[in-house]
Amino acid sequence: MTNNYDDKRGIGMTSDRTRNRLAKRLEDQGIKSLDVLDKIRVIPRHIFVDEALASRAYEDTALPIGYGQTISQPFIVARMTEELLKHVQGGKILEIGTGCGYQTAILSLLFDKIFSVERIKDLLIKSKKRLRSIGIYNVSYLHDDGWNGWKKYGPYDGIIVTAAAAEVPEKLMQQLAINGTLVMPMGPEGKQELINVKRCKEKFEYKKLGAVSFVPLIKGKKLKK
């Protein structure tokens, strides 16, 4: 794949050195996958946030991306991606909650094809442009309510949901391939857990992966600004 990160590499607070430091911090916090750490070093996170926040893009923190939404914290992006990679090699990934597209970009370098669904149209359009500007083309985008999944291209080897719900949406379960894995935050605000659901034929096995904090998976797609 040809990527044009070079002109987006940044200087000072947004340079390669800053990204290396972030990767090192994530490694110290327990991220083991060298593939994931490598992609954290490669993707320029500062182009996913407002210019005024660019200097904070490599702190391990969530930042606002408009519409009351946040770019997920790098540790969480790395943790969820690492979890998917443990179970899925190559393959098709369904992502619910494109947001600013940072998680999408990381996934695009590790899996064959990404299908990304976002309910806020403006965020989706901007993310698509942003990813194309750095040469990422193996992503398809859909403006819809992620509770519906994206039936047309399913079943998926992996599903990642980047917003929290009290239950795993039924349609996502249906669109998960046999032996596929879904990773998502589950539970009400203040009590969310990251979970992994593995499909074995008609049986689903749940595993808890630790406490997290996400914005909610809202029902319905947003039609107007």
Binding residues for ligand SAH, rule: CB under 6 A, are: 65, 69-72, 96-97, 99-100, 102-103, 117-120, 123, 145-147, 162-163, 215, 217-218
The distance of closest approach from Cβ of residue 21 to ligand SAH in the complex, given in angstroms and rounded to an integer, is 20
Q: Which residue is nearest to ligand SAH (CB)?
A: 99
Residues 167 and 102 sit within 8 Å (Cβ to Cβ): no
Identify which of residues 12 and 220 has a Cβ nearer to ligand SAH in the complex: 220
Transcribe 152-199 into DSSP letters.
Answer: GG--EEEEEE-SBBSS--HHHHHTEEEEEEEEEEESSTTS-EEEEEEE
Give catalytic residue positions. 72
The distance of closest approach from Cβ of residue 119 to ligand SAH in the complex, given in angstroms and rounded to an integer, is 4
CB atoms closer than 10 angstroms to residue 182: 27
What pairing do the DSSP bridges indicate for beta strands 92-96 and 69-71?
unpaired
CA distance 189 to 213: 7
Nearest to 96 by CA among 165, 152, 149: 149
The distance of closest approach from Cβ of residue 203 to ligand SAH in the complex, given in angstroms and rounded to an integer, is 26
Identify which of residues 37 and 184 has a Cβ nearer to ligand SAH in the complex: 184
The distance of closest approach from Cβ of residue 202 to ligand SAH in the complex, given in angstroms and rounded to an integer, is 25
Identify which of residues 75 and 102 has a Cβ nearer to ligand SAH in the complex: 102
Q: Give the 3-state secondary structure percentages of the chain, helix then strand then coil, rounded to 5.
A: 35, 30, 35
